[in-house]
Amino acid sequence: MGEFTVTRRLRHPAERVFDAWLDPEVAARFLFATPTGEMIRAETDPRVGGTFTFVDRRPDMGDVLHTGAYLTIDRPRRLVFTFAVPPFDPGYTTVEVEITPAGDGCDVRLTQRDTPDEWVEPSTKGWTMILEALEASLS
């Protein structure tokens, strides 16, 4: 099992970035969304123990489910959740998002733990694209 970290500086305040992860309408624009897909389901229950479900309909793969549960919600600094993509792997990983104010914006540090070794590289690329899409969705 592997662990990796992705970082990015965003031009938006920490509170706005944090809230984007928990608001299903905003999250549907960046979280697990693909350029050619259509987000057909985006649900969050933003409380410790609450769950999230996102389904992106992809032309080449069909409906891809992303799901998990919130472990820590410490606005606007830290969000921890379990995460799985059952069509590809039934196991859950743990994702920690740390948000630190930086000038007019913030730094985002995302760490995924308990990742099967074969998923570390594609997951690193995926989260990098998600953080880029987060920036774009708030602009």
Cβ atoms of 70 and 94 within 8 Å: the answer is no
Q: What domains does the chain contain, in order, with CATH numbers?
A: 2-138 (3.30.530.20)
Dist CA 139 CA 133 (whole Å): 10
The DSSP 8-state label assigned to residue 6 in this structure reads E
**35, exposed or middle or buried, with CB in 10 Å at 0-12, 13-18, 19+?**
exposed
The pTM (predicted TM-score) of the whole model is: 0.95
Q: What's residue 131's pLDDT? A: 97
| Backbone φ, ψ for residue 24 (5° rounding) | -60, -35
Kind of pairing between the strands at 51-58 and 38-44: antiparallel
Alpha-carbon distance of 75 to 118, in angstroms, equals 32
The confidence band for 59, taking pLDDT boundaries of 50, 70 and 90, is very high
CA 11 – CA 114 distance, rounded (Å): 30
What average pLDDT does the segment 43-51 reach?
98
Q: Label residue 49 left, alpha or beta by phi (over 0 means left) and psi (-120 to 50 means alpha).
A: left
14-34, pLDDT tens digit by residue?
999 999 999 999 999 999 998
Average of per-residue pLDDT values in the chain: 96
Confidence of residue 73 (pLDDT cuts 50, 70, 90): very high
